[in-house]
């Protein structure tokens, strides 16, 4: 298969969707991003890289960071996190407070904000610097030592992040945080504000397509943990539209409100797409369309 040609074709095919939807204005810095951009990168499990469109433009990875934080916690701490976070789809918006109260402070899954705050809290206990640990993983796996937090985005989120603050205080009131609320929220905002390109992200996610094997030949996760993290991505990775994403794309995926999505074809490749316009559930409109085209044309879905 001519993958380069395919990515260029897909970039052409989704032109009508680019710019559709809304950028995530609830974080003021993200609201300022030009929606008329689209990038796509694919990295095979053996490390071959293909890119098209704006694949070398940095964007805010936001919730995509949650996959990498979870990978770090699972790899150094095993299954203990599952006592503090469930792994079921929530059926609610990613920042909802309602379910957390009715379920006594145990978040539904690690990819909604409440669950990710618990994972970051654990990573902070394990490393002393949760955002630094996620950044180091991203740098090593992408091979780009310049990957860094965009501090304007982190500050913008912290200044306007009243909902996340409510979730964190509620978690603390239920005894489900180990560290002070302010420290956890700061780490969480910094990991979400990592700025990366599609190519960086696809490279960084390659271990999810290769049974956990990382860029330097090390095991980022065991094959069994890799299977499980991909399963949680499939069922919980694309907000309240994981069913629709499975229907259209049919791959484990994780989206972020910066407009990025990382998807995994287990045993074959990792793909990253980015376009800032979000649909009603918070997933990139052109990004989902591109992944739909990709699996429809290649037959590379898990179904």
Query: Does residue 63 carry a catalytic annotation?
Result: yes
Query: Does residue 247 carry a catalytic annotation?
Result: no
- Closest distance to ligand GLU from the beta carbon of 94 (Å): 5
- Closest distance to ligand GLU from the beta carbon of 23 (Å): 12
Nearer to ligand GLU, 45 or 66 (CB): 66
Nearer to ligand GLU, 113 or 176 (CB): 113
List residues near ligand GLU by CB under 6 A.
62-63, 94-95, 113, 157, 164, 192, 256-257
Tell me the angle at which helices 3-13 and 285-298 cross, rounded to the nearest 10 degrees: 140
Query: Does residue 281 carry a catalytic annotation?
Result: no
- Closest distance to ligand GLU from the beta carbon of 192 (Å): 4
Q: Which of 41, 51, 63, 210 is catalytic?
A: 63
Tell which phi-psi region holds residue 245, choosing left (phi > 0), alpha (psi between -120 and 50) or beta: alpha
Query: Does residue 257 carry a catalytic annotation?
Result: yes
Q: Which of 188, 262, 265, 284 is catalytic?
A: 188
- Closest distance to ligand GLU from the beta carbon of 95 (Å): 6
Nearer to ligand GLU, 10 or 137 (CB): 137
- Closest distance to ligand GLU from the beta carbon of 257 (Å): 4
Distance (Å, whole) CA 278 – CA 30: 12
Nearer to ligand GLU, 7 or 249 (CB): 249
Q: Which of 51, 60, 65, 66 is catalytic?
A: 66
Nearer to ligand GLU, 250 or 259 (CB): 259
Any idea which residues carry the catalytic annotation? 63, 66, 188, 239, 257
């Amino acid at each position: 298969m001519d993958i380069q040609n395919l990515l260029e074709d897909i970039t052409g095919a989704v032109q009508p969707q680019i710019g559709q939807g809304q950028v995530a204005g609830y974080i003021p810095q993200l609201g300022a991003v030009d929606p008329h951009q689209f990038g796509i990168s694919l990295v095979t499990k053996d490390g071959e890289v293909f890119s098209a469109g704006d694949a070398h433009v940095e964007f805010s990875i936001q919730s995509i960071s949650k996959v990498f934080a979870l990978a770090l916690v699972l790899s150094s701490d095993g299954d203990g996190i599952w006592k503090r976070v469930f792994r079921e789809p929530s059926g609610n918006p990613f920042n909802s407070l309602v379910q957390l109260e009715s379920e006594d402070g145990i978040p539904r899954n690690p990819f909604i904000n409440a669950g990710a705050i618990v994972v970051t809290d654990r990573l902070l206990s394990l490393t002393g610097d949760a955002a630094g640990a996620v950044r180091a993983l991203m740098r090593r796996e992408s091979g780009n030592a310049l990957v860094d937090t965009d501090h304007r985005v982190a500050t913008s989120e912290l200044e306007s992040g009243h909902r996340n603050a409510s979730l964190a205080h509620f978690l603390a009131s239920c005894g489900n945080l180990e560290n002070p609320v302010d420290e956890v929220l700061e780490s969480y905002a910094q990991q979400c504000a990592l700025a990366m390109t599609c190519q960086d992200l696809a490279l960084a996610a390659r271990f999810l397509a290769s049974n956990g094997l990382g860029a330097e030949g090390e095991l980022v996760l065991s094959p069994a943990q890799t299977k499980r993290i991909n399963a949680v991505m499939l069922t919980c990775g694309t907000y309240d539209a994981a069913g629709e994403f499975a229907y259209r794309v049919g791959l484990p995926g994780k989206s972020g409100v910066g407009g990025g999505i990382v998807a995994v074809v287990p045993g074959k490749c990792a793909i990253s797409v980015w376009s800032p316009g979000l649909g009603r559930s918070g997933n990139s409109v052109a990004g989902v369309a591109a992944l739909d085209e990709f699996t429809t044309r290649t037959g590379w879905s898990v179904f």
